[in-house]
């Protein structure tokens, strides 16, 4: 278990591991993945129904735990120690094979579409 080799015998907290991963500590990142991969992987597979899509979503989620996407520069940047960011959530809702909604959580909360309102209630 190479990931735990450089870590102390006392199990570090998740916030400590996230801070270390942000600083480039691959062992801390690997330990976080080990702790949460099975639980989150099952959830992602349940939502997406495809193992490769679930694995990609899981990797994206772990990356966003330690990095922030800058849309103006189209790049990820590591967050400084102790800093957290809001992860943008966007939704694409289909009905009968057609897009009925494509937007973020704020827009979703204010939609007038009765089908969507029933879906999110």
In the 3-class helix/strand/coil scheme, how is 42-106 assigned residue by residue? HHHHHHHCCHHHHHHHHHHHHHHHHEEEECCCCEEEECCCCCCCCCCCEEEEEECCEEEEEEEHH
Q: For position 90, what pLDDT does the model report? A: 66
Query: What is residue 87's predicted lDDT score, i.e. its pLDDT?
Result: 60
Domain containing residue 51 = 2-80
User: How many domains does the chain fold into?
Assistant: 2
- Find, among 71, 47, 69, the residue nearest to 57 by Cα: 47
Query: What confidence score (pLDDT) does residue 120 get?
Result: 67
Low-confidence ranges of the chain (pLDDT < 70): 1-9, 81-92, 94, 97, 119-121
Q: What is the pLDDT of residue 115?
A: 80
The 10s digit of each residue's pLDDT in 32-45 is: 888 888 888 888 88
69 and 93 housed in the same domain: no
The span from the first CA to the last CA of the chain, in angstroms, equals 45
Residues across the chain: 121
| Residue 10 shares a structural domain with residue 60 | yes
Residue 97 and residue 47 share a domain: no
Q: Are residues 69 and 100 in the same domain?
A: no
pLDDT value at residue 58? 83
Q: Same domain for 12 and 54?
A: yes
pLDDT score of 94 = 67
Phi–psi pair at 76, nearest 5 degrees = -95, 140
| Distance in angstroms (rounded) separating the CA atoms of residues 58 and 62 | 6
pLDDT score recorded for residue 84: 66
């Amino acid at each position: 278990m190479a990931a735990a080799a450089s870590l102390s015998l006392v199990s570090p907290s998740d916030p400590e591991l996230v801070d270390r991963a942000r600083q480039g500590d691959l062992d801390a990142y690997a330990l976080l993945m080990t702790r949460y991969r099975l639980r989150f992987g099952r959830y992602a597979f349940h939502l997406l129904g495809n193992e490769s899509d679930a694995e990609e979503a899981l990797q994206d989620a772990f990356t966003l735990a330690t990095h922030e996407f800058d849309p103006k520069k189209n790049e990820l940047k590591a967050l400084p120690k102790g800093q957290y960011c809001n992860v943008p959530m966007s939704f694409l809702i289909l009905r009968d094979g057609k897009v009925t909604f494509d937007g973020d959580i704020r827009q979703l909360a204010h939609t007038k579409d009765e089908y969507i309102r029933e879906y999110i209630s």
